[in-house]
Amino acid sequence: MQRTPEEIELIRLRARLTKRFHKACADYGLIADGDHILVGLSGGKDSLALVEFLGKRAQIYVPRFRVTAVYVRLKERSYQSDIDYLQRFCDAAKVPLLVRDTEIGAEEKKDPCFLCSWYRRKALFDVAQELGCNKIALGHHKDDIVETLLMNMIFQGSIGTIPPLLQMEKMPIQMIRPLCLLEESEIARYAELSGYEKQIKACPFEKESSRAQMKALLKQLETLNPDVRDSIFSAMENIKQDYLPKQITH
């Protein structure tokens, strides 16, 4: 039976993204024998792709490692992903799924985006420690890394970004980002061709974020150089390691 143009595109795109995924894991030493990796699954295209690629990689004999996904529900946020769909997706990827409920303390008066991120991240660490996971995988891609670098430079006056591999200072856990060499547009296209179900985004603060502003800035820079993301990423790789964050406290 002859394949459709979309099926051919999907096959080629999957091969390209898988190659970059494996390259990131090898270049940055993200996966080792005996690892138990906890994946933060939000239901968005990036975390779904991360579960899929890690699930497939875990089925290869070397290195031998385990993957568990966790979806964190925050009591104070009315929106959430379709748990039934996430379960079916994880079952197909042969990755166990846990659902963890958490809530923001009533006394907290900080920025809502910071609180949402902090309490979700805290729940990830708690689950990782409970399960004995030595690594937490997050779905940050190349665009996230470039955007974070720009935000730090523009708003903080510092040169630094989210690294592919980060050793926690106060616990034996590493943060890894296996999608660090994949571009967001390609992941979005892959999700579309693969039939990922789009989750409803109801966050009232999403369009107001600094990251949204950086996305718009990169779009403008693309008119000067269509490969601006690759250029910034390459420049960042050339920065002395002293400028990049090595550890984070928790």
Beta-bridged to residue 97, according to DSSP, are 69
96-107 pLDDT tens trace:
999 998 877 665
Task: Evaluate if residue 249 carries a pLDDT over 50.
Answer: no
Task: Evaluate if residue 135 carries a pLDDT over 50.
Answer: yes
CB 233, CB 142: distance < 8 Å: yes
The answer to whether the bond into 5 is cis (omega within 30° of 0) is no
**DSSP single-letter state for residue 198:** P
Domains of the chain listed by start with CATH number: 5-243 (3.40.50.620)
- Give the pLDDT of residue 242: 43
Task: Evaluate if residue 248 carries a pLDDT over 50.
Answer: no
What does the block give as tokens for 129?
């420690």
Lowest average pLDDT, out of 36-40, 72-76, 181-185, goes to 72-76
Mean pLDDT within 19-29: 96
Task: Evaluate if residue 244 carries a pLDDT over 60.
Answer: no
50-67 pLDDT tens trace:
999 999 999 988 899 999
- Give the pLDDT of residue 109: 60
Choose between 188 and 152: higher pLDDT. 188
Give the number of other Cβ atoms within 10 Å of residue 159's Cβ. Answer: 14
DSSP strand pairing (135-137 vs 174-176): parallel
Lowest average pLDDT, out of 45-49, 134-138, 198-202, goes to 198-202
163-183 pLDDT tens trace:
999 999 888 999 999 999 999
Distances in Å between the alpha carbon of 144 and those of 110, 125, 214, 232? 23, 21, 10, 12
Mean pLDDT within 7-12: 97
CB 66, CB 96: distance < 8 Å: no
Q: How far is CA 92 from the centre of its chain?
A: 20
Q: How far apart are CA 57 and CA 66, in angstroms?
A: 10
Average pLDDT over the chain reads 87
CB hemisphere CA count around 206 (13 angstroms): 7
Mean pLDDT within 33-40: 97
Nearest alpha carbon to residue 36 among 179, 245, 176, 182: 176
Nearest alpha carbon to residue 211 among 133, 126, 152: 152
